[in-house]
Structure 1
Amino acid sequence: MEEKLNPWLHIWFKPRAVIRQELEKPDREKYFILLSIVIGMLTAFTGYEQNSPVLNPISLTSVVVFGGAAGGLFMLYFISWVNAVVGRWLGGRGYASDLRVAALRGSMVPSLLTVFIGLIDFAIRGEEFFYSVNLLIETREMSTLAFIAGGMTPALIVLQVIAFVWTFIISLKSIGEAHGFSAWMALLMYILAALLIFIPIMIISFIVSIFIFL
């Protein structure tokens, strides 16, 4: 009998096997919308920054509730669709629904590790956790390392770097499994997808800026 994997636990060590298992489930997208919203809100909370030393609860709540929810859904649906299209250009066989499984199970869920480290940093620093680097420079002297880390302690910096690399590799393997190709091909797909998204944005921004300054 084939081993049944826990997608929350085994994704860290057997990402391809987990994605393969989840792709075969008839109800594989159950709770995906709710999970993407919750993960998006948690990510927005740990990524929130402000340039004022006084915490603005209204701004924080708006960013977390609305921005976080929208970001989570954007990642689940739009980015997955782009990854499906670009991946198929490269010979992949995954469709948008397959890439949604890879996105949530193999990218968004693992990203909770970096969120957790961020929450530890918040517990240590309190409101200063939300201060932008510019505000930290104004309020206290900072070393070069502290400037780069945005005030985070060295131990948490190391953990964040390890978590980022680990979760990124998991994401590549998950995308590769959904498309039926290697993690290296998934990396190429990521690069092409990023170009596909950001180049038009840069062109539009350039054209708009020209009209503004005319």
Structure 2
Amino acid sequence: METQASQPLNPWLSIWFRPRATIRYIISTDPTYRVYSLAALGGISKVLDRAMSRAWGDSMAWYWIVLLVLVGGPVAGVFGLYIGGAIFRWVGSKLGGAATSEEVRAAIAWASLPGIAGLVFIIPYLIFLRSEAFTSETPRLDAIVAQSPAWAILVSLLGIYLIVIGVVLSLWQLVLLSKTLGEVHGFSAWRGFLTYFIPSFVFFILLFVIFVLPRAIYIGP
């Protein structure tokens, strides 16, 4: 009888609802399949999101932002893939997992598909706002909104829609990552979640101690 891992799957579709079976199929056939492409696209998505949320356009021209997104994004994505792969492999091994770094990288890359899919929703927003998508001040958008209450309602609904989509895709990505990490390590999705959560929490605490705590306890003259 053919095993579930060897049954042909379309990972682009099955990863959304059958993440464990999908990542099992990938690592049993070709654990490097599209891993670097997904990492590059994931990096583009993250750098683009950061450029928009941090208003990079307030301090640099839009074409520099585009260059950073298209060139720096893939580099950051692949670099993060290797760093995350090493960390999640080590943490997972301490929780009883037995995945290789290559398998963990596949789990990370394929679980990032919801975040990459978010680009589909962001691109129309970028086309509409153009350079103002990267700035804190939006005179062109403000002028459009001021034309009629209908425009104001439409823009507000668009903003809410994008926020909801972002939250849903982020949660979906976390669920997929927990399941794919659990599968490659050979344990439950809950331990897969801990494999992600523990180093993320430690990193957050380090950032707090290094950057936030000194400012909180500093007493100036």
Q: Same fold (TM over 0.5)?
A: yes
Normalising by structure 1, what TM-score?
0.76
Pair 1:112–1:34, CA change in 2 (3 A): closer
54-63 or 10-19: bigger deviation = 54-63
Q: Secondary structure at the match of 1:48?
A: helix
How far did 1:22 drift?
0.7
Paired amino acid for 2:27: L
Give the equivalent residue in structure 2 for 1:156. Answer: 162
Give the equivalent residue in structure 2 for 1:39. Answer: 42
Moved over 3 A (4+): 51-55, 195-209
1:48/1:63 contact within 8 Å kept: no
Normalising by structure 2, what TM-score?
0.74
Paired amino acid for 1:181: F
Paired amino acid for 1:78: I
CA radius of gyration, larger in: 2
How far did 1:182 drift?
1.5
Q: Take 1:205 and 1:53, find their aligned partners in 2: how far apart are those partners?
A: 23
RMSD of aligned residue pairs (Cα, Å): 3.4
Give the equivalent residue in structure 2 for 1:11. Answer: 15
- The correspondence of residues 165-176 of structure 1 with structure 2, limited to 5 A, is 165-176=171-182
- The equivalent position to 2:107 in structure 1, one of 102, 111, 115, is 102
Give the equivalent residue in structure 2 for 1:91. Answer: 96
How far did 1:166 drift?
1.7
How far did 1:164 drift?
1.8
2:56/2:65 contact within 8 Å kept: no
How far did 1:198 drift?
4.3
- The correspondence of residues 36-185 of structure 1 with structure 2, limited to 5 A, is 36-49=39-52, 50=55, 52=57, 56-106=61-111, 108-132=112-136, 135=137, 153-185=159-191
1:87/1:179 contact within 8 Å kept: yes
How far did 1:199 drift?
4.3
Q: Take 2:214 and 2:192, find their aligned partners in 1: how far apart are those partners?
A: 33
How big is each residue's C-alpha offset from its partner over 1:13-67, in whole Å with a ceiling of 9 and x where there is no partner? 1000001111111x32144334422332243234313355697134213421343
87-96 or 200-209: bigger deviation = 200-209
Q: Take 2:171 and 2:212, find their aligned partners in 1: how far apart are those partners?
A: 33
Q: Take 2:175 and 2:43, find their aligned partners in 1: how far apart are those partners?
A: 20
How big is each residue's C-alpha offset from its partner over 1:148-190, in whole Å with a ceiling of 9 and x where there is no partner? xx99522222222222222221111111111111221122222
120-129 or 170-179: bigger deviation = 120-129
Q: Which has the higher helix share?
A: 2
Unaligned 5+ runs, structure 2: 146-151
Percentage identity across paired residues of the two chains: 27
Q: Secondary structure at the match of 1:5?
A: coil
